[in-house]
Structure 1
Amino acid sequence: MTEGISGPGAASGAGAAPEESHNVVLTRAPALAPLLARGALLSPTKRPRPDAPYPRTRLVLPAVRADAGRLAAYERICGFDADGALPATYPHVLGFAPTMRLMSERAFPLPVLGLVHTSIEVTRRAAMPADRPYEIAVHVAGLAPHRRGTEATVVTEARADGEPVWESRSTYLARHRVGPSAGAREQGDDRSEPEALAEREERTEREDRPEAEEREALPVAAEWRLAGDLGRRYGAASGDRNPIHLTAATARLFGFPRAIAHGMWTAARCVAAHGMPEAGRVTVRFRAPVFLPGTVAYGASGDRFELRGGDRLHLEGETSPLE
């Protein structure tokens, strides 16, 4: 891949990367399969901690156009109207490949394997016609301590004619022991990495369950039956073919009993059902995975929405207009 590197002053205006970052301009979107493989191979070497150094690179794709076929497939599977504009969550898809490039680098301190997407905040400043090019840029905004490990914030930006029109801030959690004896596993734990991940996932769900059960459920607006191939269909539309979403067999390799729905599919499906202001913001917090196949209930009230499976809260969010 051919790249051009420009100075840090090339990014200006709202949403610009920190001063110490530098732009790397890509001539095309990186291929995802090699990035996923590299991220998986490097994961065992990572030692995440909140004060670890992280890449200051801002990756830029200068003129990205949505592929009409993939966009149509995305709209169908997520429930968006085909109205000639990009769905509010779609620029995240356009930025997924450069995001994976950043996160699969040796310099990125969190392991790709086991990384949990915990939240996303999307800000849309104007409608985004689907037939025009956009500059897409991604950078790591920083690391922060979390009660279960270390969390990274990754920012994706979209610009049209040099003006910012869309931005997302995603948080990703690498779970590890915190405190004086911090480490990926307890001393003497000789389990495989998938077994350790599965145990941590089960423990996290147990910890979150009381909080979800105590929260009053929103009125149910719809019930959705999710097919077992949902992960494969969304992966084809979005490019995110993480094995945990594809089949039960591939998910079991990473400690999950069945395939789980993409978090960004659950977010997009809820945003499509709920709607958001043309110039507005939507915040989504992911609480628990959705196993496939399955049935979930979409609830909404005012600016708030959620996704539940029985007593388990999978996702909650809210929208607001820009001030």
Structure 2
Amino acid sequence: MITDWHTLNHGPSLPGLYARAATRRKITGTTLPRSGLRCWLNVDPKRLEAYRKVCGFVDNGLLPPTYPHILGFALQMQLLTAREFPFPLLGLIHLSNRIQVFRPMGGVSRVRVSVQVHNLQPHAKGATFDLVTTLDDQLGSLWEEQSQMLCRGVKLDGEPVEEVLASTLAMTEIARWTAPSDIGRQYAKVSGDYNPIHLSAASAKLFGFPTAIAHGLWNKARTLAALAEYLPAANIEIAMQFRKPVRLPSEVTLTASAPGSSGDLQLLGAGDLEHMVGHWRPVA
């Protein structure tokens, strides 16, 4: 697919995008736009420090592997609330997330962030598409993220094809922590992601959840922070599937295989409830 790139002079303003998202409640089509957005952005040291604190990352001189998602979030919001995008942003479900780190992300201060959507596919509950975000510096590609999103109620021709990540390696408990009742609000402050399902029980109930749930990307970031000594700093792909949401507050347990270039992991709740499964591998 050839993308029609639009370059912005500065990052979008989130309040206006949230207002736009709140007024879009209907599915308006079944074709994804071919346009993408690009913008050169600076890394804010104070925001990065706050993000590390909320997610548990130590300052090792590198951008955390999930931090570029934060840099691209406003561009993602602008793309997904554009008039030509056919699905309402509120109600989209994040099914899986795949990150590739091509080079060590040390000394990164100014980057070009690009976002686009593609790969519309039928799903048993609607349709999925991939939201792709990339990070480049003056030397070329640094990082790429592919988030698979589900829009319920979309009707597409064809048979659903669903990839299922399965653990094949022996795993042991690595860490356990409590996701506090206010972690959704804490993460929203450092990420810009103020989805109501994460903020409070009252706002989550408006969207069918009995209580607030943790952001999937906070679960992933907190997991990678706990696995910092297990993972290579670059030439790594980290894939996660989000299974059952982490209701707030909850205690979770991280299990993983041995350190190395490849490995498997699980994030479990009470009664071995599977919240998240994933693996890391060298970039293909």
Same fold (TM over 0.5): yes
Output the CA distance in 1 between the equivalents of 2:93 and 2:65.
22
Q: CA deviation at 1:142?
A: 2.6
Q: Is the 8 A contact 1:95 1:138 kept in 2?
A: yes
Output the CA distance in 2 between the equivalents of 1:217 and 1:236.
37
Matches within 5 A, 1:42-121: 42-43=24-25, 45-47=26-28, 52-62=30-40, 64-121=41-98
Q: Check 1:38–1:85 CA distance in 2 against 1; reply closer, same or farther (3 A cut).
A: same
Report what 1:297 is aligned to. 253
Instruction: Count how many residue pairs are aligned between Structure 1 and Structure 2.
Output: 269
Report what 1:148 is aligned to. 125
Report what 1:195 is aligned to. none
Report what 1:37 is aligned to. 19
Please give the secondary structure, in 2, of the residue aligned with 1:260. coil
Q: CA deviation at 1:217?
A: 9.4
One-letter identity of the residue aligned with 2:176: E
TM-score of the superposition, structure 2-length normalised?
0.88
Please give the secondary structure, in 1, of the residue aligned with 2:267. strand
Q: CA deviation at 1:267?
A: 0.7
Unpaired runs of 5+ residues, structure 1, are 1-17, 181-210
Task: Calculate the aligned-residue CA RMSD, in Å.
Answer: 2.3
Q: Is 1:256 aligned to residue 177 of structure 2?
A: no
Q: Is the 8 A contact 2:204 2:210 kept in 1?
A: yes
Instruction: List per-residue Cα deviations over 1:182-210 (Å, max 9, x = no partner).
Output: xxxxxxxxxxxxxxxxxxxxxxxxxxxxx
Report what 1:201 is aligned to. none
Please give the secondary structure, in 2, of the residue aligned with 1:54. coil
Report what 1:244 is aligned to. 197
One-letter identity of the residue aligned with 1:144: Q
* 1:314 alignment partner, one of 271, 275, 279: 275
Please give the secondary structure, in 1, of the residue aligned with 2:23. helix
Q: Is the 8 A contact 1:270 1:305 kept in 2?
A: no
TM-score of the superposition, structure 1-length normalised?
0.78
Output the CA distance in 1 between the equivalents of 2:42 and 2:62.
12
Matches within 5 A, 1:126-275: 126-161=103-138, 163-176=140-153, 218-275=171-228
Q: Is the 8 A contact 1:23 1:58 kept in 2?
A: yes
Q: Whose helix fraction is larger, Structure 1's or Structure 2's?
A: 1
Instruction: List per-residue Cα deviations over 1:244-300 (Å, max 9, x = no partner).
Output: 111111111211111110000001111121233222110011111111111111111
The 4+ residue runs of structure 1 with deviation greater than 4 A are 177-180, 215-218
Q: CA deviation at 1:98?
A: 0.6
Output the CA distance in 2 between the equivalents of 1:228 and 1:216.
33
One-letter identity of the residue aligned with 1:279: N
Paired-residue identity, %: 38
* 1:122 alignment partner, one of 99, 111, 115: 99
Q: Check 1:96–1:177 CA distance in 2 against 1; reply closer, same or farther (3 A cut).
A: closer
Please give the secondary structure, in 2, of the residue aligned with 1:75. helix
Q: Check 1:218–1:47 CA distance in 2 against 1; reply closer, same or farther (3 A cut).
A: farther
Q: Is the 8 A contact 1:42 1:106 kept in 2?
A: no
Larger radius of gyration: 1
Which structure carries more relative contact order (alpha carbon 8 Å, separation 6+)? 2
Q: CA deviation at 1:106?
A: 2.3
Matches within 5 A, 1:4-19: 18-19=1-2
Q: Is the 8 A contact 1:144 1:151 kept in 2?
A: yes
One-letter identity of the residue aligned with 1:305: L
Output the CA distance in 1 between the equivalents of 2:170 and 2:235.
28
Q: Is the 8 A contact 2:169 2:257 kept in 1?
A: no
Output the CA distance in 2 between the equivalents of 1:22 and 1:109.
17
Please give the secondary structure, in 2, of the residue aligned with 1:127. coil
